[in-house]
Structure 1
Amino acid sequence: MSTTPSLSPAVLHRLVREGRAPRLLDVRTPGEFRTAHIPGSYNVPLDTLREHRAELLAHLDEDVVLVCRSGARAAQAEKALAEGGLPNLRVLEGGIVAWETAGAPVDRGPERWDMERQVRLVAGSIVLATGLIGVFVPGAHLIGTAIGAGLTYAALSNSCAMGVLLSKLPYNRGPRPDIRTAIAELRSAS
C-alpha cells in the first residue's frame, strides 16, 4: 500500500471551485501538459523538478498537489520534494485521467499521444518486428523477450526506462520549461 499522501479529484475540484486551490505542479512532459492540464497548474517536468529541487523548494511554502497522467510520476516528485524537506505535499489520485473522468475542467491544446500510449506502440512494434524477423533470423525473438522483461520490471518498480527515453524526443519535449520562468510564475502567484 502506498504511503504517498493523496487528494481525490472530487476534493481538489471542490477546493478549486471555492477559490482555495493548493499550488498545482504538473510533472508531465511539456507536450503532455500542452495537450491537457488543470487550469492554474504549473508545468515543472519530473526531470526538471529533480534537477532544480533546491531552487523550487524556496518557492513552495504552501500546500502543493502534484499531478501527472495517473499518479506514478507525481509520487516520484513527491518523494524528491519531501526528501528536500517540503511538507504539505499530496498527489492527485489517478492523475489527470481521474480528473477528466470526474468531469473537472481542463485547458486543452493540440492533441498528442500520452507517454503510456507511446510506450505501448514502441514496445509492441519491437516485439512484433522481432517476432516476425525471428522466423528468418534465429535469436531475434530474444529482443522481444528483453522488451517484455523491461516492461515487467517497469510495472514492478513503478518506473519506465522506455518512457524516460521517449520523453527526450522532440515530440514530447516541446519548449523545455525554463526553471527561471517557472520560479517567476510561482513567485508571482504567491
Structure 2
Amino acid sequence: MLDITPAELRQRQQAAEPLTILDVREPWEVEESRIEGSQNLPLGSLPQHLEDLENLKNQEVIVHCKSGARSAAAQAFLQQHGFSNVRNLVGGIQAYQAEK
C-alpha cells in the first residue's frame, strides 16, 4: 500500500510540486477545513466520477479524509479500477493539521 505522510505532503507543497489531492470527505467537512489545492469528491460519489478521473489513472493521486479510513477505502476502490499510483494521507487531515 502506498501511503504519504503529512510531513512529505507539506514538503512537496512547499516545493510547489503540482499535486492531485482528492478530499473524499463530505462537503460540510470541507467547509470547516481543507488542504490547499485539494478537490472535494465525497467517497460515496466516486463511482459516478470514475470517467471524470480517467486521465489520472497513471498519475499520482493523493487521497485524504478526516482520519485516513475513508481515504483508504477510496484508495482501494481507485486501485481496483486501474489507478496505478494512489497514495493515502496517513492520519488524514487531522494529522496534516497537527504537523504544522
TM-score interval (norm. to shorter)? over 0.9
In the alignment of these two chains, the number of paired residues is 99
In structure 2, how many angstroms separate the alpha carbons of the residues matched to 1:72 and 1:51? 20
Equivalent residues in 2 for 1:15-164, closer than 5 Å: 15-53=12-50, 55-60=51-56, 61-103=58-100
Segments of structure 1 that go 5 or more residues without pairing to the other structure are: 104-190
Q: TM-score, normalised by structure 2?
A: 0.92
Q: Compare CA radii of gyration and give the structure with the larger one.
A: 1
**Higher strand fraction (1 or 2):** 2
Instruction: State the Cα deviation string for residues 160-180 of structure 1 (Å, max 9, x = none).
Output: xxxxxxxxxxxxxxxxxxxxx
Gapped runs of 5+ residues in structure 2?
none
Structure 1 residues 21 and 15, CA, compared in 2 at 3 Å: closer, same or farther?
farther
Q: Which has the higher contact order (CA 8 A, sep 6+)?
A: 2
1:90 deviates by 0.4
Distance in 1 separating the partners of 2:60 and 2:48: 21
Render the CA deviation track for 1:57-97: whole Å, top value 9, x for unaligned: 31314211001000000010011110110111100000000
Match of 2:6 among 9, 16, 21: 9
Bigger helix fraction: 1
- Distance of 2:68 and 2:47 partners within structure 1: 16
Taking only aligned residues, the RMSD between alpha carbons, in angstroms, comes to 1.2
Report 1:160-171 matches (<5 A): none
